[in-house]
Amino acid sequence: AQSVTQLGSHVSVSEGALVLLRCNYSSSVPPYLFWYVQYPNQGLQLLLKYTTGATLVKGINGFEAEFKKSETSFHLTKPSAHMSDAAEYFCAVSGPGTASKLTFGTGTRLQVTL
């Protein structure tokens, strides 16, 4: 079975500040890890993903995440927050073959203040 835990249901940062959203995973097979963003009244949009290879992955809108196997983590960061980053962010895990069911965390709502 696979699962993800997102620490902090709400995170508030000032515009221009570092964004750090935390995600820890549990998986019995090599995981595929994803971050999705959801803006109000919209569907989920893929920000970035890790499947194999380079552990630091870059995504859209200046976001990046690093896969750390030793820490079972896949935290999402952005050096400088923008007002338009305010949204709900979901971490998700799947895996190869029969582990390919996509399992989501509970989400983190990011608020960006002036």
Partner 1 sequence: DARVTQTPRHKVTEMGQEVTMRCQPILGHNTVFWYRQTMMQGLELLAYFRNRAPLDDSGMPKDRFSAEMPDATLATLKIQPSEPRDSAVYFCASGFERGYTFGSGTRLTVV
In the complex, which residues of this chain contact partner 1 (CB under 8 A)?
Answer: 32, 34, 36, 42-46, 49, 51, 90, 94-97, 100-104, 106-107
Instruction: Kindly tell me which of 12 and 42 has the beta carbon lying closer to partner 1.
Output: 42
CB of 15 to partner 1, least distance (A): 27
CB of 16 to partner 1, least distance (A): 30
Number of neighbours of residue 24 by Cβ within 10 angstroms: 17
Instruction: Kindly tell me which of 43 and 83 has the beta carbon lying closer to partner 1.
Output: 43
CB of 111 to partner 1, least distance (A): 17
Instruction: Kindly tell me which of 100 and 113 has the beta carbon lying closer to partner 1.
Output: 100
Instruction: Kindly tell me which of 39 and 113 has the beta carbon lying closer to partner 1.
Output: 39
Let me know: does 105 contact 5? Beta carbons within 8 Å: yes
- Distances 102 to 2, 7, 15 between C-alpha atoms, Å: 9, 19, 32
Query: DSSP per residue over 32-79, as a string?
Result: EEEEEEE-TTS-EEEEEEE-SS-SEEE-GGG-EEEEEGGGTEEEEEES
